[in-house]
Chains A and B, each alone.
Chain A
Amino acid sequence: MRKRIFIQKFFYILLLLTTFIVVIFVFGIIIYLIVKGGKAISWEFLSEKPSNGMREGGILPAIIGTLYLVLGTLIFSLPIGIFSAIYLNEYANKNRLTRVIRLSIVNMAGVPSVIFGLFGLGFFVIFLGLGRSIISGSLTLALLILPIVITSAEEALKNVPDTYRNASLALGATKWQTITRIILPQALPGIITGAVLGIGRAAGETAPILFTVAVFYQPNLPKSIFNQAMALPYHLFALITQVADAPEDKKWGTALVLLILVLFFSVIAAVIRTRLRMKKRVRL
């Protein structure tokens, strides 16, 4: 009996330890970045262009470029994602085609990001002739996050009770009217949560933008969606691997800004999700 208790204790401590290692790693990275990068961040760092071959100045064009990309990604992925989810939840029958669609979504989520980069290069940049541009990059990133957007939008649609659908249809509304005026408004917060999580992922990705939009240095801010742009993740990568003797604090500062931007999206998503949960509780 005592042996059994000892074994139990031993394994409990071991499991606690594994959890502890993982948690330490997460906090370790974040704290280390804050300590190292915090020193570099100043108003000049955020508002100036890089100068002297990236060794001085700030990262403004990279921040702006990433914001453009994120916006473009949202514009392309949100409508497609929503309609795709509407099809799956409101129209699709339980048949073979639906099964194949779901399987494709799962598989698309597992396609490596560098493959999306290759596809973006082959299809958007060269085949459609969009060139290396913000639009090519945004389209590539939009495809990358599409599975996230579809899955969460579908989840949100599923949570709208069927009584809403039946009531609307009973009042003589068409299926389409029911979807756009009754179901979508109800599901919107959940849909937005998924989209925000998705663009948070898109903001941090490097491989898909490597051949579709990213440029090492650009003196002027992009003027149209057909221009190339600098982007934070690629800027950090370039600072680390391509700029000889780039100052350490610029690298850590860029890494911290990127992390803050990405976590910012996660926090927004978490806030929307929590508010959503509270609302539901009240209604019940």
Chain B
Amino acid sequence: MDNFHKRFRNFNNFITSKFVFLNGILSIIVLGLILAFLIYNSLKFFTAYPIFDFLGGREWLPGSDTPKFGLLPLLVGSAIVSFGAIIIAVPLGVGAAIYIGELAPQPLREILKPVIEVLASIPSVVIGFIGMTLLSDFVKNLFDLSTGLTALTGSIMLAFMSLPTIVSISEDAIHAVPDRYRFASIALGADRWQTTYKTVVPAASSGIIAAIMLGLGRVIGETMTVLMVTGNSPRLVFSWLQPVRTITATIAAEMGETVQGGLHYSALFAIGLILFLITFCVNLTADRFVNRIREMG
């Protein structure tokens, strides 16, 4: 009996550990499945459409009689909007992180961080709606344009959407810099500002770069806001003051009107695959820098 009991317990332990293991590796499975399904569904497109016309194509005309699926207008659209967003978000985000992490008194710090993190929970459709109604008129009048739905409008809204990530992670990194760095700097005769920008910020730079990369990942992948505020025009332009269309917005806007299993449908999975690979690289790079902070600490 005792023996049976023991064996039952061993068996039980075995089953539970296998079950838990299966859950543990689920994230690998899911990530693998996502990649597999993106490839599987885009196979039809890659076999039917010449790859160089896709990667080097300057026109995205899925609805015409001879449909054209050129990636460039969408890729450039994504790049312009994301680049603009990061240019705006980095000074604001890193500035705010330095203020909150180094200069703000403790009670203010405890309030400011959650307030900025609230921004992360505002749904992207709501941000997009605000951008469409308030910001687009402002942009239109400021630059005297025919429409305010431009790449710049998207960049500004996306910059604010990436701020919670950038501020929060940069601030963590700044806060994690050991106090002895500061004391040493001040003991050598530096004032507080010199200590901040010559000692603390360089020491936290891995974390700040990781924060920027993660913010960039969020910006590239944002869908609804850019769909609403960038004007939805899949033409190849190199200007912040014209309507553009990003990869994400194209998928969201066109998937509803495709025939399941058709060429257009498959093409949207193909640009999804490109998007997945881009964000994957950005996230891997970010992870490199995150690990570097851990090694330092």
Contacts and interface: CB of A to CB of B under 8 A. Distances in A.
A120 B223 CA distance: 16
A23 B116 contact: yes
A16 B100 CA distance: 9
Interface in B91-146: 91-93, 95-96, 98-100, 103-104, 112, 114-116, 118-119, 121-130, 132, 134
Interface in A85-132: 86-88, 90-92, 97, 100-101, 103-119, 121-123, 126-127
B51 interface: no
A23 B124 CA distance: 18
A189 B128 CA distance: 34
Contacts of A123: 33, 37
Contacts of A11: 193, 197
A206 B28 contact: no
Contacts of A8: 191-193
Contacts of A97: 25
A258 B125 contact: yes
Which of A84, A105, A116 has the most chain B CB within a 10 Å cutoff? A84
B34 interface: yes
Contact of A114 (B23, B99, B218, B248): B248
Contacts of B181: none
Given A32-B130, A119-B37, A122-B40, A12 B193 contact: yes
Interface residues of B, number: 86
A144 B139 CA distance: 34
A112 B34 contact: no
A107 B32 CA distance: 11
B251 A114 contact: yes
A210 B252 contact: yes
A25 interface: yes
Task: Tell me the interface secondary structure of chain A in the complex.
Answer: helix
A208 to B, nearest CB: 9
Interface string A147-173: 100100000000000000000000000
A29 B127 contact: yes
B30 A211 contact: no
B38 A119 contact: yes
A122 B37 contact: yes
Given A15-B95, A114-B221, A114-B272, A207 B121 contact: no
A126 B218 CA distance: 28
Which of A32, A101, A204 has the most chain B CB within a 10 Å cutoff? A204
A227 interface: no
Task: Tell me the interface secondary structure of chain B in the complex.
Answer: helix
Given A19-B96, A22-B167, A211-B256, A83 B103 contact: no
A107 to B, nearest CB: 5
Contacts of A186: none
Contact of A115 (B17, B132, B275): B275
Contact of B20 (A87, A109, A174): A87
Contacts of B126: 29, 33, 204, 236, 255, 258-259
Given A26-B116, A115-B38, A176-B12, A262 B27 contact: no
Interface stretch (B67-75, B234-242, B282-290): B282-290
Interface in B180-224: 191-194, 197, 214, 217-218, 220-224
A104 B17 CA distance: 21
B24 A114 contact: no
Interface string B35-56: 0011011000000000000000
Nearest to A208: B223
Contacts of B287: 103, 106-107
30 contacts: A4-B191, A8-B193, A11-B197, A17-B95, A19-B100, A23-B112, A80-B23, A83-B23, A86-B20, A87-B21, A91-B21, A101-B28, A104-B27, A110-B282, A110-B283, A111-B31, A111-B280, A112-B248, A119-B34, A122-B269, A126-B260, A204-B126, A206-B123, A206-B124, A206-B125, A207-B252, A210-B255, A240-B132, A259-B122, A263-B118
- A-B pairs with the 4 shortest C-beta distances? A112-B221, A87-B24, A204-B123, A18-B95
